[in-house]
């Protein structure tokens, strides 16, 4: 009987903690158990045990007493150890919203929250724009001409971009813009990126963090009425200057400064700022007509109030203003978009040039963080998605066209590995990007998820392009108009570096910001301490204690069961994956909580640990998005392999990141204990089998439904340029496949560009294939020879690189 009561108590406490039962109900449950023990005359040890448990639970349930005796001294201590936080850190934490990231931090994700999100879709207007102006623009682009000859978009391309209002996708229609959704904006950038990164950057920057978005959210009505219609039609070209030579990632340390002062203009005294700056890496600066500028603000004469140091301010300055210098160009590698320097010395600007007017002086960082919370999720991740799509499209095609050792190179297991990785990454990137765009269009501003998309999709793009380069070999190494990979390969560092370098984003922002924003109690504790609110602190801290205990119980139980029995929104092949995410979410949350408790404010300097937690959170998110995408697509059977590969790779990365945390835990013994609690059976997640990878590779080597979904909405050139020839050859090779295998079987020979005419003649004469089949095979081999060929240049070409084609284009445009 004693054993039964003890077991009942442990099971009851574990069950109540597992399901996060309120404290008062836990207390009543244990008290009821004590009453039963008394009524049946149990052993005194049962009374003692139940009493030892009931007494503290009852005490903690008496909120006023708990608050006075426990929370009050704890509150005083907490306020002394709470680390100091800069104004920029506070504003970053207060920007944006949370969504699925908070569910993953909870240790018990509510899948309804994920499936309540509308499925990604374009409006009819956006679809028409994609099929019309975007298609035309892509047809006009020649990346070799743009990057190696003109070092700019041709004049007729710039004119078309302005005419079709590509620069105003985010500007509302009432101001003359296109008023596209985030989904539409991202789709346009993605498709252009499949043709030319230079053109994509030129289009995406005015539609991202910059004057247009800042004006829409924070501008005065007069500023909106003046600038937005002009920006919409390209009469004004904007740029935004934030980065200084001495302040890159640490924007708060910028030396650029504006001093509040008064100036006599046309006989009138005007209140404004005298601004000096030195900025670099500013996209569109060489052609900008209006300069968005971020600078620190001082008011030494207290013209605006009692404070001298007012913070960062954002202003709009016409580039023709006396003293404004738009300097020389930078040449970003692989993507020669307009980028350069700007500087000014003691340039006077009136207060109505400050974005939002005088009342917004000093609020620039908050404004930038507000816009970045959403904007960072759109453009650069779109380039990652485009890279995945094109790598799938072209590497699959090339691996089918290119023969070595008498078979397509894609049939070798060594090539199957990178092909499977490319397909996996492409599927996962698009899944996360499109669903996050749906969240933005719902009104969310998921600042942590935006950082994840930026960092992890651009890194995934780097991996797929590296794999594509390896498969293409010499074809990708030799530069020239027919090389469709080298520009994108060289341009990869741009997306890796800008809008928060990936090293910084991973090691400091994703988890550093996410731990506070997404955790259900941490931010509440910090806010209550800052506001000296004991009541709020009491609720937060004891909620936090219960949260940790619940996750400890969940981690142990789910570690033993592998998550089986937990909630899953689907009862199909994906069910186990949803349950694995439930299990890993609990382990992640518990591990993070204990690590934060041990390190406290010192955690902000533990960037290696922070980066590993960031990896775990990011891949939990990516796995979730992949599962939702599979469901949205109708759970097609042919996509099961690529879905499984993406999810299993994500889960494996989550587990690996957590094991590295345990190996480097602040208290090594405790790390070992938590690892055993969360992973009692050790490492459980692995990549898919070779057979699955083989099937994914074959899907990229054929005209499969999966390949079509992976490469949807890319630009498919009709012209016979580098990409166009590969796609023509791929189609021709697949069409001629029956004839090829007939000849291999009958004549014991493998057709190639050198012997195809003789083999076809023999095969037709022998009745092995028809004349039409012979013609198809000859065409396939001729196109294959064009694909395999690489560009050559005469010495004169290298001395005079501007081609006749470029001269003619410039003459026509002018």
Catalytic residues: 499
Residue 789 Cα distances to 231, 475, 537, 726, 732, angstroms: 44, 8, 70, 11, 17
8 Å CB contact between 326 and 344: no
**Dihedral sign of CA atoms 774, 780, 784, 787 in order:** positive
Residue 305 CA to its chain's centroid (Å): 41
Q: Which two tokens stand for residue 11?
A: 């099971």
SS3 label, residue 541: helix
Query: In degrees rounded to 5, what are phi and psi of residue 354?
Result: -70, 130
Cβ-contact 294, 368 below 8 angstroms: yes
Q: Residue 325's beta-bridge partner residues?
A: 343
Instruction: Count how many Cα atoms sit within 13 Å of the Cα of residue 814 in the half-sphere of its side chain.
Output: 6
Taking residue 346's Cβ as centre, other Cβ atoms within 10 Å add up to 10
Q: From CA 606, how far away is CA 369, in angstroms rounded?
A: 24
Strands 324-329 and 309-318: unpaired
Question: What is the three-class DSSP state of 328?
Answer: strand
Question: What's the chain's length in residues?
Answer: 814
Alpha-helical runs (H) found in 442-518: 447-452, 458-472, 474-477, 486-497, 502-504, 511-517
Query: Does an H or E element contain 268, and which?
Result: strand 268-283
CA-closest candidate to residue 384, choices 523, 502, 237, 507: 502
* Beta pairing partners, 270: 263
Rounded Cα distance, 698 and 696, in Å: 5
Query: What Rg, from alpha-carbon coordinates, does the chain have?
Result: 31
- Dist CA 141 CA 546 (whole Å): 59
Helix (H, G, I), strand (E, B) or coil at 109: coil
- Report the distance separating Cα 584 and Cα 652, nearest Å: 10
Long-range contacts of 562-571 (CB under 8 A, 24+ apart): 562/681, 562/684, 567/111, 568/111, 569/111, 569/112, 569/114, 569/115, 569/631, 570/627, 570/631
The 3-state DSSP class for residue 807 equals helix
Q: How far is CA 32 from CA 10, 555, 675, in A?
A: 14, 27, 35
């Amino acid at each position: 009987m004693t054993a039964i009561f003890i077991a009942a108590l442990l099971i009851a406490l574990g069950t109540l903690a597992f399901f996060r039962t309120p404290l008062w109900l836990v207390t009543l449950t244990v008290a009821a158990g004590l009453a039963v023990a008394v009524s049946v005359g149990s052993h005194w040890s049962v009374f003692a045990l139940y009493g030892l448990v009931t007494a503290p639970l009852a005490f903690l349930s008496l909120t006023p007493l708990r608050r006075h005796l426990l929370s009050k001294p704890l509150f005083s201590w907490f306020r002394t150890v709470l680390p100091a936080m800069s104004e920029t850190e506070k504003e970053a934490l207060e920007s944006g919203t949370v969504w699925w990231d908070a569910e993953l931090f909870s240790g018990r994700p509510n899948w309804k929250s994920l499936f309540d999100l509308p499925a990604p879709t374009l409006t009819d207007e956006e679809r028409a724009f994609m099929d019309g102006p975007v298609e035309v623009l892509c047809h006009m682009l020649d990346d070799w001409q743009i990057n190696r000859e003109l070092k700019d978009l041709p004049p007729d391309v710039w004119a078309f971009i302005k005419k079709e209002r590509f620069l105003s996708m985010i500007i509302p229609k009432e101001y003359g813009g296109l008023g596209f959704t985030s989904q539409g904006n991202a789709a346009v950038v993605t498709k252009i990126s499949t043709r030319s990164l230079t053109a994509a950057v030129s289009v995406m920057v005015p539609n991202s963090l910059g004057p247009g978005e800042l004006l829409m959210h924070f501008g005065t009505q007069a500023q909106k009425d003046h600038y937005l219609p002009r920006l919409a039609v390209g009469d004004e070209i904007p740029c935004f200057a934030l980065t200084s030579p001495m302040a890159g990632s640490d924007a708060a340390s910028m030396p650029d400064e504006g001093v509040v002062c008064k100036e006599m203009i046309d006989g009138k005294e005007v209140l404004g700022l005298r601004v000096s700056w030195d900025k670099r890496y500013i996209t569109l600066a060489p052609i900008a007509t209006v300069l968005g500028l971020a600078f620190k603000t001082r008011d030494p004469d207290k013209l605006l109030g009692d404070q001298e140091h007012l913070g960062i301010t954002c202003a709009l300055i016409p580039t023709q203003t006396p003293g404004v210098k738009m300097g020389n160009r930078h040449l970003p590698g692989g993507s020669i978009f307009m980028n350069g320097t700007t500087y000014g010395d003691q340039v006077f600007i009136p207060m109505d040039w400050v974005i939002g007017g005088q009342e917004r002086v000093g609020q620039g960082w908050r404004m930038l963080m507000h816009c970045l919370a959403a904007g960072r999720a759109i453009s650069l991740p779109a380039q990652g998605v485009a890279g995945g799509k094109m790598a799938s499209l072209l590497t699959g095609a090339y691996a089918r066209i290119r023969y070595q050792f008498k078979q397509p190179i894609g049939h070798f297991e060594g090539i199957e590995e990178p092909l499977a990785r490319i397909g996996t990454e492409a599927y996962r990137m698009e899944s996360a990007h499109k669903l996050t765009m749906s969240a933005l269009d719902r009104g969310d501003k998921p600042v942590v998820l935006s950082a994840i998309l930026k960092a992890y999709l651009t890194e995934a793009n780097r991996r797929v392009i590296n794999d594509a380069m390896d498969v293409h070999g010499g074809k990708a190494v030799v530069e020239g108009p027919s090389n469709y990979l080298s520009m994108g390969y060289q341009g990869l560092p741009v997306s890796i570096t800008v809008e928060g370098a990936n090293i910084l984003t991973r090691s400091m922002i994703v988890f550093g910001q996410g731990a506070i924003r997404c955790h259900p109690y941490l931010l509440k504790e910090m806010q209550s301490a800052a506001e000296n609110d004991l009541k709020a602190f009491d609720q937060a801290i004891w909620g936090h204690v219960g949260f940790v205990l619940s996750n400890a119980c969940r981690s142990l139980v789910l570690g033993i069961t592998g998550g089986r029995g937990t909630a899953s929104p689907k009862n199909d092949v994906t069910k186990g994956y949803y349950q694995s995410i439930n299990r890993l979410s609990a382990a992640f949350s518990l591990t993070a909580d204990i690590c934060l408790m041990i390190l406290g404010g010192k955690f902000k300097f533990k960037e290696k640990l922070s980066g590993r937690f960031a990896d775990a959170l990011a891949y939990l998110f990516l796995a979730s998005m992949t599962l939702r995408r599979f469901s949205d697509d109708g759970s097609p059977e042919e996509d099961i392999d690529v879905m499984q590969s993406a999810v299993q790779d994500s889960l494996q990365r989550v587990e690996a990141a957590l094991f590295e945390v345990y190996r480097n835990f602040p208290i090594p013994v405790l790390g070992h204990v938590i690892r055993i609690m969360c992973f009692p059976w050790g490492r459980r997640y692995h990549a898919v089998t070779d057979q699955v990878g083989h099937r994914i590779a074959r899907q990229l080597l054929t005209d499969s439904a999966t390949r079509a979904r992976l490469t949807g909405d890319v630009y498919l050139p009709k012209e016979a340029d580098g990409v166009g020839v590969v796609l023509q050859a791929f189609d021709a090779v697949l069409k001629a496949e029956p004839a090829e295998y007939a000849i291999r079987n009958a004549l014991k020979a493998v057709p190639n560009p050198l012997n195809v005419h003789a083999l076809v003649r023999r095969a037709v004469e022998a009745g092995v294939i028809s004349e039409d089949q012979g013609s198809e095979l000859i065409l396939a081999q001729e196109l294959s020879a064009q694909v395999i060929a690489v560009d050559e240049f005469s010495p004169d070409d290298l001395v005079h690189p501007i081609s006749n084609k470029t001269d003619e284009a410039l003459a026509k445009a002018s």
